[in-house]
Amino acid sequence: FVLFLAICIGFETAHMACCGQGKYNGFLICNRFSNLCANRHDHVFWDPYHPTEKVNQLITHRLLNGPKSDLSPVNIRQLLGI
């Protein structure tokens, strides 16, 4: 389900980290020995633990502007009155 949603919103892969080692680049955090993807914007995860910048931007947008189904009773922009 997550992979399907990720592809629907423009990601190429949600099953493999952009930077890491081992199966799915999911063994260790990114370091000089890691495999590195060609385009980090295509991936949901940077390393086994951290989302990519594109995912963080999507999360931030939803926190600031999201509907009541995401944040209730108000989103952060409404809470701060901006």
pLDDT of residue 7: 77
pLDDT of residue 43: 93
Tokens at 56, concatenated: 């963080």
Q: Cα–Cα distance between 34 and 28 in angstroms, integer? A: 8
pLDDT of residue 1: 53
**Per-residue model confidence as pLDDT tens digits over 41-73:** 999 999 999 999 999 999 999 999 999 998 899
pTM above 0.85, yes or no: no
- Taking all residues of the chain, what is their mean pLDDT, rounded to a whole number? 90
Give residues with Cβ within 8 angstroms of 71, minimum separation 6: 62, 63
Rg value, the chain, Cα: 15
20: β partners: 35
Q: Cα–Cα distance between 12 and 3 in angstroms, integer? A: 9
